[in-house]
Amino acid sequence: MYQFDQSLELFNRASKVIPGGIYGHVTPATVIPGASPYYASKAEGAYYWDADNNKYIDFMCGYGPTILGYNHPEIEEAAREQKLKGSVFNHPTDKMVELAEVLTERINFADWAVFAKNGSDLTTWAVQVARETTGNKGILKAKGSYHGVDAWCSPGKGGIIDEDLANVYHFEWNDLQNFEEEFQKNLQNLACVILTPYHHPVFQDNLLADSDFLPNIQKICNKHGVVFILDDVRAGFRLHENGSHEYFNFQPDISVYCKALGNGHAISAAVGRDHLKVPASKVFLTGSYWNDAVSMAAAIQCLKIVQRDKVPDIVEKLGSQLKAGLEKTALKHGFELKITGPVSMPYLRFKDEDNLYKIQEFCKICISKGAFFHPHHNWFLSAAHKEKEILDAIQIADFAFAKMKPNE
Ligand SMILES: Cc1ncc(COP(=O)(O)O)c(C=O)c1O
């Protein structure tokens, strides 16, 4: 059984000098205290080590970015080659032009691309492009969706004022009638509809849309000149090499990518249609590190490998194996699981409970045996996971289910 002494020691030190000790989505506030690592030290392939040198098969992939696995040789070679020349200059480099060319070639509706460092940078920027385009203020989004930390979409309450939310409207995911009602009600003020390719609200089952939901939203937005923004930050390039809209058969006006784009190198991108290019050029976008050529070199290489190796197929196959193995093993011990979302980004809970107690317990035991599962966030698979890692994880899950007693 793993110990977490160094993690706790670091957390004590951090609490004195960092608000909350650890903040954001990696906060330990949502896991069983002392039953999970709080700090990482190194990673390789499908594995990472925590501050206590405990080793894990990683089913979070840094919450998504490492789609090819940690320290991927071809990505790191491309990054190193650029690093020798430099990273942030007084100007962008040829890497930025090349990356924009790759994205606009790959993404069927895209005529231009811009870059930043985080998903939030560009979901907010895309909303501004929609406002610049339409002259309207309103944002229509799915209830419970996550689009980043800016005031219009932050899930937090601190520092948010009523005015931040004054032009934000909501619809129920996968309910076209409700969407149309909200759309029509707010049309006079509507700049954009923003949504993720599938619904992944926190602490809840993940939901794919019915096959006509997203194409219908596209149609309605097009008809009324409302900008349709796809937030593909979390799923982009894991479901489909050309973006999740191809996986789900629709076309937005702007897509935003981040997590898997640089395989761990900090970069985000937004791509869009030609008619938005002029308004896009009017919305100020910059940052101290936005034109960092190292992450752009990594992204070019990552996009190449995702396509060359058919990575979405690899992670889908691994995800199916993991899902089937966990479900079967759970049943053997009298537990029924509910696994939702795409299989390469599964969200797992115990079917008969909605208070997360059992999933917390399950993850605690798995973590203590070397499989890092998260109790209330969707997991991520990478191309570095092989059958061995899946089978080892299922064996660890078997041990965990055996230790837990059903219906208690
Ligand atoms: C769907 C979605 N949109 C936006 C964001 C924000 O991206 P970032 O945390 O890189 O700012 C995230 C991050 O998890 C996300 O999952």
State how far Cα 347 lies from the chain centre.
13
Ligand 1 atom nearest to 64, measured from its CA:
14
Percent of the chain exceeding pLDDT 90 equals 94
User: Distance between CA 205 and CA 173 in Å, rounded?
Assistant: 12
Q: Which distant-in-sequence residues (6+ apart) come within 8 Å of 2 by Cβ?
A: 37, 50, 52, 54, 367, 368, 369, 370
User: Distance between CA 256 and CA 233 in Å, rounded?
Assistant: 6
pLDDT on residue 407: 55
Q: What is the band of 193 on the pLDDT scale with cuts at 50, 70, 90?
A: very high
pLDDT on residue 31: 82
Strand ranges across the sheet with 190-195:
112-116, 268-272, 254-257, 227-231, 190-195, 138-142, 168-171
Q: Which residues line ligand 1 (CB under 6 A)?
A: 118-120, 123, 146-148, 196, 231, 233-234, 258
Q: Scanning the structure block, which residue is given the tokens 């940052």?
A: 287
pLDDT in tens, 233-288: 999 999 999 999 999 999 999 999 999 999 999 999 999 999 999 999 999 999 99
Ligand 1 atom nearest to 117, measured from its CA:
10
Class of domain 73-308: alpha beta
pLDDT in tens, 279-325: 999 999 999 999 999 999 999 999 999 999 999 999 999 999 999 99
- From 139, 146, 238, the mutation candidate for ligand 1 (largest count of ligand atoms within 8 A of CB) is 146
- For residue 391, report the distance from its CA to the centre of ligand 1, in Å: 30
Class of domain 5-70+310-403: alpha beta
Give, in degrees to the nearest 5, the angle at Cα 350 between 341 and 200. Answer: 25
Residue 229, beta-bridge partner list: 194, 254
Tokens of residue 340, six digits: 């939702």
Which residue, 250, 254, 244, is CA-closest to 211? 250
Q: How many helices (H) and strands (E) does the chain have?
A: 13, 13
pLDDT in tens, 71-97: 999 999 999 999 999 999 999 999 999
